[in-house]
Amino acid sequence: MYNQIDSNKRKSFVLIFIFVTFIVGIGYLLSRILTYGYAPMIIAAFISLLMVGISYLAGDKIALAASGAHVIKKENSPYVYNLVENLCITAGLPMPEIHIINDPAPNAFAAGQSPKNSSIALTTGLIETMERHELEGVIAHELSHIKNYDVRLATLVVVLVGMLSILSDMFLRGSMFGGRRRNNENGGGVLAVIGIVLIILSPLIGKLIQLAISRKREFLADASGALLTRYPEGLAGALEKICKYKQPMLRVNSATAHLFFANPYFSAKNFLGGLFSTHPPLEARVKALREMI
């Protein structure tokens, strides 16, 4: 389990490094092709940080409201409350707010800016269909997202994706006006063509890296959750039950889909679908957990 955790952490950091390097390269390309210097990068960073900062401060509340979640106290559901409380004590985490989503689809998600300000949401379908050890596994997975600061990482990645989108838009506009003169003067036509191709593709490349990071963090949370419960089979059993459930959730949208324990729409069964999925295949997650036993 420790080897799995270390491996997933390394892969996440490698992907982030590639992402940052790619953005710096795009910024350098812009400064060479256009006459604006590093101004586009600075403007892109400012706008992205402003937009994501607003969503970061209220993102958890928006996600909970969009999913139809309502907060519960210990007296409302002592069974669920005690499970979460015991796992929090084991993990050394403060108690998050517990929310219930009235939905027959078995699923869950965690949200919040930090362990001190976090929430966990479970669907009624998850609570009703899972055995105790399976429900513990899912809760441990979500608490691991909180402990690993995955929400904060996701926010950083969203900033980078936003920067790429803004930079590509600035490049396409600038190349039509101020950039052409410089390219012709300095003989940078080839560089301009390469730059146009890269920057047009950059939002797609950025999105693919974002999804790859999201999938690696799911594997990391699985491994961390299994370490927390000391029973990987519980989480593996929960994933197998979810695998058999074919109906999408009642209330879900693309903005919150990546937060959930399992893909709230459906599981991608082919390579292309897996490439654009926010979650790794459930079968791959079960296999990784079984290899820990």
DSSP per-residue codes, 120-145: EEEEHHHHHHS-HHHHHHHHHHHHHH
Per-residue CA distances from 164 to 16, 37, 43, 104, 271 (Å): 14, 16, 12, 38, 25
All residues at 6 or more sequence positions from 275 whose CB lies less than 8 Å from its CB, including other chains: 208, 211
Cβ atoms of 234 and 243 closer than 8 Å: no
173-195: pLDDT as tens digits: 665 555 544 444 544 566 567 66
Q: Would the pLDDT of 202 be above 90?
A: no
Phi-psi region of 34 (alpha: psi -120 to 50; beta: other; left: phi over 0): beta
142 among known catalytic residues: yes
Q: What is the pTM of this model?
A: 0.79
Q: C-alpha 252: how far from its chain's center?
A: 15
Cβ atoms of 26 and 170 closer than 8 Å: no
36-64: pLDDT as tens digits: 666 766 776 677 667 667 766 776 787 88
Q: C-alpha 81: how far from its chain's center?
A: 26
Cβ atoms of 130 and 106 closer than 8 Å: yes
Greater confidence (274 vs 227) lies with: 227
Q: What is the mean pLDDT of the chain?
A: 81
Please state the rounded mean pLDDT for residues 226-231. Answer: 94
Please state the rounded mean pLDDT for residues 93-101. Answer: 96
146-182: pLDDT as tens digits: 998 887 777 667 667 767 777 777 666 665 555 544 4
Q: Which residues of 115-144 are buried (b: 16+ CB within 10 A; e: fewer)?
A: beebbbbbbebbbebbeeebbbbbbbbbbb
pLDDT at 174: 61
Edge-to-edge strand ranges of the sheet holding 97-101: 69-72, 97-101, 117-123, 108-114
Selecting among 134, 136, 142, 218, the annotated active-site residue is: 142
Strand-pairing partners, residue 65, are: none
Per domain, the residue ranges of the chain are 2-290
Q: Which residue has the tokens 């499970």?
A: 83
Tokens of 272: 């292309």
